[in-house]
Each structure stands twice: as structure tokens, then as C-alpha cells.
Amino acid sequence: MLDHYKQDYNKQRQQFVLIDQLGLVLEYTGILLPIKKGQNLKELHPFFESLDALLAMPNPEFSFYCVHLDLGTEDLIADIDMVRKKEGMLLVIHDLTEHYNSYQAVAQARNESIINEELIVLKNTELEERERFKNLFIQNFSHELRNPLMSSMAITQILSDTSLSSEQEQLLEVLRDSNTHLKLLLEDTLSISMIASGKLVMKNTLFNLHKMLDLLSFTYKTKAKAKGLQFTYKAAKQVPEYVEGDRLRLYQVLTNLLDNALKYTVKGSVSLTVGFNQQWANKVHLHFEVTDSGPGIPEDKQPTIFETFSQLASPDKQQGTGLGLALVKGLLALMDSTIVLHSATGKGSTFSFDLGLKVPLQSAMQQQIDIGSAATSRKMGSPGRKYKLLLVEDDERVLTVLFKMLMDSDQFYIDVLTDGGEVLETVIQNEYDLILMDINLPNTRGDHITRIIRDFPFKNVKQLPIIGMTAYAYEDHMQAYKEAGMNTVLAKPFDKEELLQNIFMLLHS
Amino acid sequence: MQRSKKVVILGHFGVGKTSLIRRFVTNQFSDQYKVTIGVHISKKVVTLSAEESISMILWDLEGTDSLDQVRDAYLLGTHGVIFVFDVTRPSTFQQLNSDLKIVSKKLPERPLLVVGNKKDLVSEKDLNELLLSHNISHDFLTSAKTGDTVEDVFLNLATLLNTDA
């Protein structure tokens, strides 16, 4: 009985076909292939047509695995053995359709996963390359803008110290505003690029949060008034006076949010609120909120407004780079915070974020405040004494304004060089109190000269204070110049006050 | 006169071997990627002249990571080879020279065409840069999706096979 079952089973899954040298069916068993005695197998499927060459080969047998024999009605997937017999060629066809179909599903998942992974890697590489190119472009672009902006700012300042008619005063005010605006745009562009390239590092220092918020309140009350808007500022009484965090970046976040609110609000009010969430150990959690009564942001636009170069049309047609909110998002991410937007068309907007800031211990705080006061007191120049400075700068416009700034203070004798290759000899042959030197100098770079000076055997040269000036304002560049031995590095553009403060800080230390 | 010629289509998985054959044989294309396991065999008669035509028996082999893994039985009786790579995936052509050496070793003196597929997904400029930077010498660049240059590949091979006969 079992033989009967076996025969029946095999009949369903196996077929034996004997063919001659021409491919004609001599005998067959089973029902897998719909064949007839005397039929040429080549007519059944192209697989058999390509066996001609094999029939002429001397090999005693061949095996083909996983052959898809599409016979019109159903797809048979079979292993096919071919064994040479004295009567002709015996074909044994094993139906393994079910087995191979399940294998197909596994192979499909495997291959798709490998291909997807590969495509993701490629996409990422492409995006990284684009990002790198973009950041390099921004870096160079920012560098090229810094020197002319430096000249423009300095000349504006020099002009303001001369006697001007009231009309000229007004024009100068416009120029000053434009300079400030341009400088802020430049800083924002650079910050965005630094965030994207992972070069921006938060600097935690102790600062007076109350003072910073008061300054913001004063500034934006004035700006709002000029636009006919109301400005309100509220801070919870638990907001600590001193905190540790990156003051510059928090200031940048808040000014961007406030500028944005003012820009889009035509009537009504803008407000800044600082709330207290909680304080755990030495960390305070604050809630910052900037609200405006502007036109609001349509829901469909909300997901994209934090992207770089994205901006809505402003009601007063003011231009912008579309960097502000992207910068806010990026800076807050670096501070482990997230910007939240609540807005609806016609109902104004509220941008808010929670921020954890360290509250320093009383003793550490007093120590740092003392250090700060001492530094501030050193910023003043000593009356009566004049210092000898070496000014090294190859950009003629920048050189002119720096020279004028320094001469106007009436505290310096100044030697000027425009070539890095001449600095060492000049320093050895003269006695200077300080060197003010550009980085990107012809022949020998400023940071390279600094390294040589710091390796010099004579103390009067070796310990000479050096202030570097650079239009490459990336933090890693600035750090590298300091590591080369520069005492301070100023990022262009800087103003007269910043320059003199830094000079006297070094001269009196 | 009509002769049958067995042509094997080789290459890594996912490069579009099946799509090229489908485009050539039935002039169809599907965006859905279906992995080929084992071998699918199809046929198309190519007319070369009023007197001559070739019945191309196209063996669409399962794509592999390495051509060493191709079962020798599938290659028995092969007359011509088409090696396909995907111009969008470097892993499919980074080892092109060693892959072609394997092909030449397994199937010596057979006409062989090297085809870069999916050209529709890359700009001409990027494609030229890519091929140059990887030092790839190819015979044809195709798009099974648009049908671009597909027919040329098979007609060219048919001519080579006819000359070879």
C-alpha cells in the first residue's frame, strides 16, 4: 500500500523524461510538464532549447537548481538533473516551487535591506559633501566680507568723532545701523555654518542674567516704540541673578526671536517673559517666551520656518536671510533645549523654550565676580605713558582705520608693517610693548611668526604680548591661533572700544 | 537561417538584469524590485538580415555578491555574456575588473558586453565623472526604465554572436 502512496506522491512532485539527441520525448512519467511522446521539448520552454550544446558534451550528468519554468498557467520552480543513458538523456524534474518561493521571500528581504542600507550611506555621503561645500563657501564668503565691514565700521566711528551737520549726523546714524545689521547677519551666518559643521561649542561662564534681560528689555522697548508697538517684559522673582551658561548664545537666541517678533508685527505688542519652572540642586530650569500680536504663522508653514533660508513674507517688506529661526533652533539644540511654536493665522505667535542653567555656589560666584571687576579696572589706559606698538596688517583699508583708531587714543607710538616676512627682524631690532598682527599675512603668516617669537631665547621678545586679528572667525581657528602663542585673538570686524580694551588688558596684566 | 545562442546575464543583485531582459523581450518595465532566485530563462528572436536571425536564449541569473558564487552548471553551453552593474551603487562596480576576470576565466573567449544600468537616475555629468573616477570601461549605459540603449545592447551582442559562429 505504501508503494502506492509513494508512487502517487512522487507523481505529483517528480517527473522522469527520456529524450533523444534531438530533444524528442521518448518516454515520460509524472504530470509536472504537459508533454507528449514524440514531442520536441524545445517547443515547451526556452530552457530546453539551450540544452542542445549539453547533449553534445561528453559529461555523464548535469544538475540545474532552481530553474523557473514558466508554463503559462503556473510558474514551476524545479531542480533538473540530466543523466546520460544508453537510450538517450534522462531528465529528472523535481518540483520545489513551494520551497523556493519561501526562500525567495527571505532573499527579497535580505537584498532589499542591503540595497537600502547602501543607498542611505550614499545619500548621507552626498549630503555631507553638500554640507561641507556650503560651509566652506560660507566660511570664505564671511572672510571676504569682514575686512570691508571692519573698515566701514571704523570709519563710521571716526566720522562720528568729527564735527558734523545735523543732516550728516542723520546719515551717519543710518550708516551705523546698516553696519550693525550687516555685522549681525554675518555673525548669524557664521553661527549657522558652525552649528552645521559641529564646530560650535557652548561656553559656560558665569554671567548676570538680570543685567542681560534688562539690556534686552531696554533695547527692544526702544525698538518697539520706534515702530509704534508696545513692549512688555516680565520675569518671575525666582529667576536667579547669576547663572552659568553661554551668555552670548542665549542673547543671540533671544535677540533673534525678538527681532523676528518685531519684524512681523505691525500693530499691537511684543512681549518677553521669563518664567521659573523649578530648581534642583544647583540647576535652575527657566521658561523663556516671546509673544507677538503679528499676523501668525499658517499651520502648513510652521514645520518649515525653522529651516535655513526659510522665511515668510514680512508685512513691511523687510528683507532677511531667513537664518534667524534656524539659528535659534540650532543653538537651543546645543543647549539641550527645543523651540516650541504656538501660532495661528490672525492670532499672533508665541515662541518658547525651557532652559536648564547652572546656579553657581555663592563662594565660587564671588570669586569670579572679583576676577571680572579686576579685569574691568585694567581696561583703562594709564594717563601720561605712551606705549610702543607694532601694527602688522596687509589690507590697506583695515590698516588705515586701525592706525587712525590707535592714533586718536593718543596713547601709542606705532610702527607699521605689511609683510609677515619683515616682522621678526623688526621685533629683534626694536623694543615694543605689544604686537597687533593680522593672521593672513604675505610671506609668513601671523600664527607662524608668533610660534617663532614664543620659541625665542630672549625674554623681552619671547614674552611680547601679541594680539591676533582675523577674518576667519571660526572658533577652532581662533583656538589654533591662541595655541600658537597669541595672547588674544580679535575677530574682524571689531570696534575701537573692543580693540583698546584688549590692548590695555594685556599691557596692564 | 536561425540559430539558438545561449546568453547569460551576470552581475550583482539589484542592478536591473531582469528589468533589462523584460524591457528587451516584452518592452515592459516595473518599478517593483523582485529578487531573482535561481534562473529565469526567456527567448527573443533577433533578425540580423533577411537571411539571418538569432534566437537569443537569455539566462537571467540570480545576482550574487561575488561572481565566484555563480553555479557553474548555469554557465554550461554559454555563447555570450552581458555583465550588468548599477551606476548608482558603487558596490556593484567597485570590483568590476576582478569580476570581469572571473567571467573570462569561467567563460573564456565568449563575447562579453559590460553594461551600466539605471542611467536615468544620474545626470550625464555626474555619470561621466563617476565612471572616470572609478576607471570603469563599459560598453553601454542603459536605462531599463526608459528603454534607453537597451535594444542596442542585445542587437550588438547578437551581431557578435553571429560573427563568432
A121-177 per-position pLDDT tens digit: 988 988 888 888 887 887 787 778 887 888 888 888 888 888 889 888 888 888 887
Which is the CATH superfamily of the domain at A2-95? Answer: PAS domain (3.30.450.20)
ipTM over 0.90: yes
Boundaries of domain holding B120: 2-164
CA B156 to chain centre: 12
- Rounded Cα distance, A158 and A405, in Å: 7
Is A365 or A37 the better-scoring residue by pLDDT?
A: A37
**Domain boundaries defined on chain A:** 2-95, 205-364, 379-507
Q: Of the candidates A46, A175, A403, which has an alpha carbon nearest to the alpha carbon of residue B58?
A: A46
Mean pLDDT over the full length of chain A: 86
Angle at CA of residue A260, ends A257 and A261, nearest 5°: 85
Judged by CB atoms closer than 8 Å, whether chains meet at A53 and B59 is answered as no
Q: Which of B41, B63, B77 sits opposite A53 (nearest CB)?
A: B77
- Residues B43, A68: C-beta atoms closer than 8 Å: no
A118 vs A112, A132, A352, B36, B130, CA distance in Å? 10, 21, 39, 19, 17
Q: What is the pLDDT at residue A462?
A: 87
Helix, strand, coil in percent for chain A, rounding step 5? 50, 25, 30
**Residue of A44, A50, A103 best to disrupt the B interface, most CBs of B under 10 A:** A50
Q: How far apart are CA A443 and CA A51, in angstroms?
A: 77
- B110: its cell numbers: 565568449
CATH code (residue B69):
3.40.50.300
Interface size, chain A vs chain B, as Cβ–Cβ contacts under 8 Å: 77
Gap from A243 CA to chain B (nearest CA, Å)? 52
Q: What is the structure's pLDDT at A311?
A: 58
- Hey, is the C-beta of B42 within 8 angstroms of any chain A C-beta? yes
How much is the pLDDT for A147? 79
Which of B51, B81, B77 shows the shortest CA–CA distance to B161? B81
Measured from the Cβ of residue A465, the count of other Cβ atoms closer than 10 Å reads 19
In A29-125 the beta strands, taken as DSSP E runs, fall at: 61-70, 75-85, 88-95
**Closest-CA residue of chain A to B12:** A111
Question: Among candidates A471, A476, A504, which has minimal Cα distance to A143?
Answer: A471
pLDDT at A84 over 60: yes
Q: What's the pLDDT at A363?
A: 59
Number of domains in chain B: 1
Beta-carbon contacts of A274 under 8 Å, excluding residues fewer than 6 positions away, are A213, A234, A235, A236, A239, A286, A287, A288, A289
CA distance A65 to chain B (A): 7
pLDDT in tens, B104-127: 999 999 999 999 999 999 998 888
| Residues in chain A whose Cβ is within 8 Å of chain B | 45-47, 49-54, 57, 62-68, 70, 77, 100, 103-104, 107-108, 111-112, 114-115, 118-119, 122
pLDDT for residue B25 is more than 90: yes
- A379-507 has which CATH code? 3.40.50.2300
pLDDT at residue A368 in the model = 60
DSSP A312-358: PPPTT-----S-HHHHHHHHHHHTT---EEEE-TTS-EEEEEEEEEE
Higher per-residue pLDDT: B130 or A286: A286
pLDDT bin (cut points 50, 70, 90) of residue B2 is confident
B41 CA: distance to closest CA in chain A (Å): 6
Under a CB-based contact definition with an 8 Å cutoff, are residues B103 and B43 in contact? no
Yes or no, beta carbons of A62 and B73 under 8 Å apart = yes
pLDDT, position A175: 87
Most distant pair of Cα atoms in chain B: their distance: 45
The answer to whether residue A74 scores a pLDDT higher than 60 is yes
CATH number for domain A205-364, candidates 2.40.128.30, 3.30.565.10, 3.40.50.300, 3.40.190.10: 3.30.565.10
Residue B63 with chain A: CB contacts under 8 Å: 111
**Partner residue facing A104 (CB), from B37, B41, B90:** B37
pLDDT more than 90, % of chain B: 70
Among A270, A245, A244, smallest CA distance to A257 is for A270
